[in-house]
Structure formats: structure tokens, C-alpha cells
Structure 1
Amino acid sequence: MTTSSIPDIDLTPLLTRTDHAAERAAGEQMRSAITTVGPFTISGALPEPDLLHAVDRATRAFFAQPFDARMAVHIDRSKYHRGFAPLGEEHGGTDHNEVYELAQDLPAGCGRDPMAGPNQWPDLDGFREPVEKYFAHMLTVARAVFRGLAIAMDEAPDYFDPHLRQPSTAMRLLHYPHYPPGDRDRTLPACHEHTDYECFTILRASSPGLEQRTVDGEWVATPPVPGRLAVTLGQLMEVWTNGEFPATTHRVRQSTGGRCSWPVFCTVDYWTPVAPRPQFVSDARPARAPVIAGQHLWSQTAEAFSYLDDRVQAGHVSFTGQVHDPARGRQVPRH
């Protein structure tokens, strides 16, 4: 299979919501793409070029800072898993990338979602405004993809709307740096083979490197295509469809150093119950175990990041939306 074999879906009808027949056609195309190929791309969803260039500049400026400046917003300084994660911080140091992570910028203690709160913004001119604007745009794109997925699942187009009031969707600025000459870690993958925890991921990248596995088990290189965004399904969508829409296994191989990418990990509200819909359950395909969306995401994230797993083990944070108050010696809700 070649990159040109990956289906592309025009998201315009799902963004504008003015032509119900065109929306339904887009949703049906999405179902066909997922069940016959797996990964797909979307078009008609990118913001204006000036914003894309500004985000690219901001990303490269952030990672070009001295290490101490990046560490000033280290992710361990945040109660809400926001900020910079250096090489080796995630997955036990198995990948060769560094991360800046953000989500909706909300007041501290704004709800029962342990991941809802303020971002850690670096002291860097020209950074926050374009990154926030891009993320806001991608939240709108995500709602359109959710609308298409609902149609693909034979649900009403607005099926996911009640679960998108304060979604735990996050965005990453990812940097895959050059290997220093003679570096012993040159054998590390840029990002190991995995599936994402959320409903789906929307990805833009500066250069090739992404590889995705199709439903037939074939790996296909998927370099960036002008005007398109890559979409991979995640674990929650696999649960919702009882395996009919499987999570997309993907990886990133090292290519040219200095690669950047901007994945947006799209999901629902923290306390959303996720269980197989009846149309995907039969005697031959029993229902998979249900999960709570945020608890699944939170627990998987804690396993991936050593600093967060340490907090869990120490009882400083739990998946039930509570944190430990050392002064009182008990669990207190985050609101």
C-alpha cells in the first residue's frame, strides 16, 4: 500500500453543518476508510497559513532555548500534566523526542477532572498566542470529526455533543532532535509502536517519519501531504465500537533531525462512560468491558510518565478526581 491509498475525507460539510446529505456522505466515507484501511486523512480543516507558520516558529523557538529555560516549565511543576518533558522522560526513555504539552487553559480547581487546570506558558515572545489560537481551531475540527464518527457508528450526528462540554483533549508540540555524533541512543526509535489512549488523534508534521499499520497489518509510511491532516483512531473509540473501529497502531521512524509534529489527542469529558454501543454487540462478539474515559486516559498517562506514576504511588493523585492534601492527610476533591 502507498500513501496515496490512504483515504482522504473532505471535512467541510461536517464543519459547516449546512448540508445534511453531504454530512452523512462524509460520515459514511469515514466508516469505509476505518473498516477497510484504518488510518485516513482529512482536508478542508487547516487554519490560515499565517497561523501555521506562527505555530511552527513558536515550536522551534521553544525547543531552541537553553535547556534550563525549557526546564523552567517542566511538566513536574504542574498539577495538571502541562509543560515540558525532556528526552527520556516518557516511556522509560525508549523514544528520541521531547515534548511541550498543553490543553484548555482553565482555572485551577475548576472541576472534578484531575487534568483540568492552567497551562504552564514559557516566558517566550510570540509563543502563547499562536499556539492557543491553533489549539482552539483544532478543538473545532475535533468536534467535526466526532460528528463524522457518530454518523459512521449509525448514531445521530450530535451523539457525542453531551460528552464534549469540557473534554480532556490535549495538544503536544513534539520535537525530534538531531542525534549528536557517536550518540549511543541512535538506535532508539523516534517514537515506539503504540496506539493512543483517547478517541482519535489529529496530526500535522513538518517532515516524514510517521508510519501507520492498516487493518490488514501492513505498515504504510504517511508523510505529510499539503492541505491534509492525518487521523488515527484511539483506544476509546475501539471500546465504543466493540472493536469494529480499531485503534490505529503507529510509530515514528527517525528521518531528518529537527522534525516537529503537532498531534491533538481528541477525547471526551473526563467522567464519560465508554461502553460498546448495542449495534456492535452480538453473540459472536460479546461486549468489551466499559471504562470511564478520563480514568482510562489518566491511568495510561501515569504509566507512561515516571514522575506521574511516582505521584500516584505516593497517594498524591488518584484517578477518581482527587488529590492528596499532605497537610490534612486525606483525599480531597479538586474543586
Structure 2
Amino acid sequence: MPSSSTKAKHTDFKQLPVVDISGLYADDPVVRQQAAEQLGTAARDAGFLYVTGHAVPQSLIDNLLRLTKDYFAQDLDAKMQDYIGQSSNHSGYVPQGEEQFYGAKPDFKEAYDVGFDLGEFPADLQAARQRPMLGANQWSAFPGFKTHVSAYYKAVYDLSRVLFRGFALALGLEEDNLLRLVSTPPSQLRLIHYPYNPAIAAERPGIGEHTDYECFTILLPTTGGLEVQNGANEWIPAPVVPGAFVINIGDMLEILSNGRFVATKHRVRKVPEERYSFPLFCACDYDTVIAPLPELLPADGHSDYAPQICGQHLYAQTMQTFKYLRTRLEQGELALPDGALPLSSFGPKTR
């Protein structure tokens, strides 16, 4: 892992920066570069930011939220018909207690996970691209589920491609440098429900402290509860900003940028009211070797970051987090990929 001297260090920010990314959609490359530089500054300083000026219609957001509330209002038996443990590509319903970070208490939330849906592609391409974290989604038969979730996924996936171009420009690269690594990525969308229960202990997390595994995350939350660790190791609240998405740097962009952007630790505390959130975890293609980009290496070519295969890194981290996969590991049905990193291997070293 990189030493503290080779990684950028976040500032002791007290609130997350807000970046208007409308310039990234401009025809004028000068305007796109200016917007990208603002994006890059926020990524370097905090690794967490709000973006406005995106092109995701509010109607898609409203439809997704309405559908999600109705889905999670079902009884547990109905939701368990879609249990993630019966899928071949880690898609489906995630009950409370299924996830656990870093030996902490299980997360107090439920979720539904979907990915880049190979089920929409011809059979021969599906067969060629099928991987443990990539395939045809397990779609719930709940009325309107696939329609509304798919529409939102497509819109936010399109936003992710705009941001990939922006981050490339911010790093001084050709605009499509990162996008060449993104064609059928295992980019996962989660529909997450944090129930409110006043009887739950204050230290019980909605989700425990962690960095995200992928390049970056596009998050839409409905209420507060998210906290972000700044460069002074303080936990800073990230309240909802109407009309904005929250963006944070993940493990893979930290590697690709050779530490110019650093993954930021974050958590969700016990929520003061019912909360929903919708993160899209934006990854490169499954078999991509994630290593510092040659353009960002020093003259001697040295880097302290060991290469990681994108999909294998995602799968290894997921296997160490989800109960159904940990059980298969313990029973010898699965094995971690060679060179798999332990959880919490990226971001600032504070422990």
C-alpha cells in the first residue's frame, strides 16, 4: 500500500464542496476543462462532494423513490423471494444483518442490489461477459420494479460516463482515457432502506465505516445520517442538498490516479428518521487490471500501489462483507482470489 508521503491528503474540511458540473456537458472544450478542474479540486481536497447541474430528470427520481418505499413495505417473506443469495451475479434482496464491515456489528438496513444488466444483451455476449459480479439481474416481479429501477439506472449510468470524462480531464489526461476501461462494467445500484427504530442503540450503525471499492459513487439520499472523515480524522455530517448528488472517490480511482485522489472513509450513523439512499458504484470493466495510469507515474515508473483486477477486487471485498458469501468461504465452496486485500485497505490510515 502507498505510504503517507506518496498519497494526497484531504483537507480538514468542515462541509462538503459543491460543484456545478453543467460545464461538462458543454460543446466548448475550454468550458469542459474549467468544470473538470473544479471537480478535481474537490476530489483532491475532500474526496467527497456534491454535484449539481446534472442531467438526471426529477421524474425518474420520484418514480424510483415511490417504487422503493412500496417494495420495502412488503413483509419479509415476500421480499425473501428475491434473496440475493439465490442469484449467480450478486443481485437481489439483502435483508437486515446480511452485511457486516470490519468486524463491527451488522448493519441496520435492508437493500436491493442490481447491476449492469447483461440480460439485455444477446446470449453470446452474455456468455462471454458473465462473471461472479456481472450477469443477468435477478429482477423482482413486484409491479413496476424493473421498469422504474432500469430507467433510473440508465440515467445515472449516463451521468457516470460524464464524470469519468471529467475526472480524466482533472488528472491532465485525454478526455476518454478512463472511459476506454468502461463498456460492460459491474457497476452496482443499491436501493437501501434504513428503518427508524428508537429502541436501537446509538452505536448500532446504519452502515459501518468503510471506503467504497469502485472508482467513484453517485449517491442520492433522502435524509441525513451520512458522515465523512476529513483530513483531521473528524467525522463531518453530509446533509441532503436538494437537487444534488453526492459523489465520493473509491479504491479503484485512488489506484488509477496513483494517489492523487484518495478514497474517503464514511459511515451512516443511527438514523433519526426513516431513510432511503440510492448509490451507484461506478466501476471499470470486470477484467480490467487496475494500476496507476502510466501518465501519472513518476519518471522512474515507481508506484507503491499493487495492481488489482477490477472484478476480482470487488468480489473479494463483497465475499468478506456478505453473510451468504462468507458462509460459502468458510465451507470451502468459494475461495478468495489470489492477492485479495483485506477490508479497509484504502483511504487515509487512521488506525
TM-score bucket (shorter structure): 0.7 to 0.9
Do structure 1's residue 19 and structure 2's residue 28 form an aligned pair?
Answer: yes
Please state how far the C-alpha of 1:225 moved relative to its aligned partner: 0.5
Please state how far the C-alpha of 1:207 moved relative to its aligned partner: 0.5
Please state how far the C-alpha of 1:124 moved relative to its aligned partner: 1.5
Please state how far the C-alpha of 1:262 moved relative to its aligned partner: 0.4
Q: Which deviates further from its counterpart, 287-296 or 311-320?
A: 311-320
In 2, distance between residues paired with 1:159 and 1:74?
37
1:188 aligned residue: 204
Q: Give 1:276's match in structure 2, choosing from 280, 284, 292.
A: 292
1:249-285 per-position Cα deviation (integer Å, ceiling 9, x unaligned): 1111123232000011001100111111345444797
Unaligned runs of 5+ in 2: 1-11, 120-125, 338-351
1:94 aligned residue: 106
**In structure 2, the residue corresponding to 1:251 is in which secondary structure?**
strand
Decide whether the 8 Å contact of 1:240 with 1:275 is kept in 2: yes
Please state how far the C-alpha of 1:126 moved relative to its aligned partner: 2.5
In 2, distance between residues paired with 1:149 and 1:18?
17
1:209 aligned residue: 225
Do structure 1's residue 168 and structure 2's residue 177 form an aligned pair?
Answer: no
Q: Give 1:288's match in structure 2, choosing from 296, 305, 328.
A: 305
Decide whether the 8 Å contact of 1:33 with 1:40 is kept in 2: yes
In 2, distance between residues paired with 1:46 and 1:85?
30
Do structure 1's residue 298 and structure 2's residue 315 form an aligned pair?
Answer: yes
In 2, distance between residues paired with 1:149 and 1:281?
17
Do structure 1's residue 125 and structure 2's residue 143 form an aligned pair?
Answer: yes
Q: Which deviates further from its counterpart, 87-96 or 266-275?
A: 87-96
State TM-score, norm by structure 2: 0.83
Paired residue type of 1:102 = V
Please state how far the C-alpha of 1:94 moved relative to its aligned partner: 2.2
Please state how far the C-alpha of 1:112 moved relative to its aligned partner: 4.5
1:70 aligned residue: 79
Alignment: residue pair count = 316
In 2, distance between residues paired with 1:7 and 1:117?
36
Evaluate the alpha carbon distance shift between residue 182 and residue 259 of structure 1 in structure 2; reply closer, same or farther with a 3 A threshold.
closer
Do structure 1's residue 104 and structure 2's residue 120 form an aligned pair?
Answer: no
Do structure 1's residue 310 and structure 2's residue 327 form an aligned pair?
Answer: yes
1:29 aligned residue: 38
Q: Give 1:143's match in structure 2, choosing from 146, 161, 171.
A: 161
Unaligned runs of 5+ in 1: 321-335
Decide whether the 8 Å contact of 2:19 with 2:50 is kept in 1: yes
Paired residue type of 1:12 = S
1:29-55 per-position Cα deviation (integer Å, ceiling 9, x unaligned): 122112223311111225222221111
In 2, distance between residues paired with 1:90 and 1:253?
15
Evaluate the alpha carbon distance shift between residue 83 and residue 277 of structure 1 in structure 2; reply closer, same or farther with a 3 A threshold.
same
**In structure 2, the residue corresponding to 1:201 is in which secondary structure?**
strand
Please state how far the C-alpha of 1:215 moved relative to its aligned partner: 3.4
Q: Give 2:61's match in structure 1, choosing from 41, 52, 58.
A: 52
In 2, distance between residues paired with 1:125 and 1:150?
40
In 2, distance between residues paired with 1:112 and 1:52?
29
Q: Percent identity?
A: 36
Please state how far the C-alpha of 1:298 moved relative to its aligned partner: 0.8
1:43 aligned residue: 52
Q: Give 1:221's match in structure 2, choosing from 226, 237, 243.
A: 237
Do structure 1's residue 158 and structure 2's residue 161 form an aligned pair?
Answer: no
The within-5 A match list for 1:241-280 is: 241-280=257-296
Please state how far the C-alpha of 1:9 moved relative to its aligned partner: 2.0
**In structure 1, the residue corresponding to 2:93 is in which secondary structure?**
strand
Decide whether the 8 Å contact of 2:196 with 2:271 is kept in 1: no
**In structure 1, the residue corresponding to 2:129 is in which secondary structure?**
coil
Evaluate the alpha carbon distance shift between residue 68 and residue 35 of structure 1 in structure 2; reply closer, same or farther with a 3 A threshold.
same
Please state how far the C-alpha of 1:132 moved relative to its aligned partner: 0.7
1:177-204 per-position Cα deviation (integer Å, ceiling 9, x unaligned): 122x645x55311111110000001111
Paired residue type of 1:271 = D
Q: Which deviates further from its counterpart, 5-14 or 28-37?
A: 5-14
Decide whether the 8 Å contact of 2:194 with 2:271 is kept in 1: no
1:104-143 per-position Cα deviation (integer Å, ceiling 9, x unaligned): 2223635243222122222221222111100100100000
Paired residue type of 2:152 = Y
Decide whether the 8 Å contact of 2:209 with 2:265 is kept in 1: yes
In 2, distance between residues paired with 1:246 and 1:287?
14
1:325 aligned residue: none
RMSD (CA atoms): 2.2
